[in-house]
Amino acid sequence: MGEAKRPLAVVTGASSGIGADFARVLAARGHDCVITARREDRLRALAAELEKDHGAHVTVIAADLGEPSGASRLADAVFALGRPVKFLVNNAGFGVHGDFVEQDPARLAQMMQLNMVSLTELTHRFSQHMVAHGGGKILQVASVGAFQPSPYYAVYSATKAYVRDFSQAANWELRDKGVSITTICPGLTRTEFHEVADHIKPKSMDALMMDARTVAEIGVRAAERGRATVTPGLANKLMEWMIKWWTPRWVATAMAGISMRPGAKKAAPAAPAREQPERPQPEA
């Protein structure tokens, strides 16, 4: 298949984990890809893999979306390619675990910039672009943490609630313009999220872990079908249902606080990895 006949997809946070798997799924489904994150070496290794395995043309753009100008620079670089973008995955994000009053304000600001502000700017610019070029799909990565307040992930879960509510509202506005916005709300997924968040998860949570490739496939299929939201995995669906319809909000908050209470810490906190594929914990 020639480059000109393949639709173009943009994936943020593609250097590892679910972001890399979003790119793999889209390339396997016939897309060329623009992949972006901070770690250019990992992006280039992924680009070589996608070109070899799927015949995709892959453009690598190293970008830091945790910086205020990161989203604007990325959008400008993508549009400079001169090709219509048909699929955007806003996957980049990270979490900070621990007592809110003890957290680094600069890191919290970076998280809010990445999880909300840059995501909003990219959604705005690419939805305008898609409307002007005949339509497209946008896939936003939220979290099961979006359904309730989560002590010890207080700011993180709030950013994901924003992603969910903003994306559902914008999707409704775009319903007659050929563009759909799908929000995926994963739970525990096998990625680097816990290390980046400086969170040691209980062994009891291992049974709830989903494979990143499975989550990526569920998200892409849902976006292709124009679904507004999707929560992958039976356990996560049950959690969402219980929180939304059966559990008083104060009880859900207390349960999350017990589940997410900080335990033993690693010797040194992980460095921020703002374009790491965002993988939420089970915040219920």
Q: What is the CA radius of gyration of the chain?
A: 18
47-80 pLDDT tens trace: 999 999 999 999 999 999 999 999 999 999 999 9
For position 194, what pLDDT does the model report?
A: 44
Residue 86 in any domain: the answer is yes
Residue 238 in any domain: the answer is yes
The better pLDDT of the pair 37, 190 is held by 37
Alpha-carbon gap, residue 277 to 234, rounded angstroms: 22
Number of structural domains the chain divides into? 1
Calculated CA dihedral for residues 39, 44, 50, 51, nearest 10 degrees: 160
Q: What is the pTM of this model?
A: 0.82
Amino acid at 5: K
Residue 278 in any domain: the answer is no
| List 152, 153, 156, 162, catalytic entry | 156
247-268 pLDDT tens trace: 666 555 666 566 667 764 443 3
Residues 186-198 have a mean pLDDT of 59
Residue 182 in any domain: the answer is yes
The better pLDDT of the pair 44, 278 is held by 44
Say what angle helices 70-79 and 119-132 make with each other, to 10 degrees: 20
162 is catalytic: no
Q: Which domain holds residue 89?
A: 3-260
Residue 185 has pLDDT above 60, yes or no: yes
Alpha-carbon gap, residue 48 to 128, rounded angstroms: 31
Alpha-carbon gap, residue 258 to 134, rounded angstroms: 48
The CATH code of the domain that includes 164 is 3.40.50.720
Alpha-carbon gap, residue 14 to 27, rounded angstroms: 13
Residue 266 in any domain: the answer is no
Give the largest Cα separation in the chain, rounded.
55
Alpha-carbon gap, residue 153 to 174, rounded angstroms: 31
For position 255, what pLDDT does the model report?
A: 61
For position 257, what pLDDT does the model report?
A: 63
Residue 281 in any domain: the answer is no
206-253 pLDDT tens trace: 556 789 999 999 999 999 999 999 998 776 667 656 666 566 665 556
For position 188, what pLDDT does the model report?
A: 79
Residue 15 in any domain: the answer is yes
Residue 4 has pLDDT above 50, yes or no: yes
Residue 277 has pLDDT above 90, yes or no: no
The better pLDDT of the pair 206, 140 is held by 140
Residue 276 in any domain: the answer is no
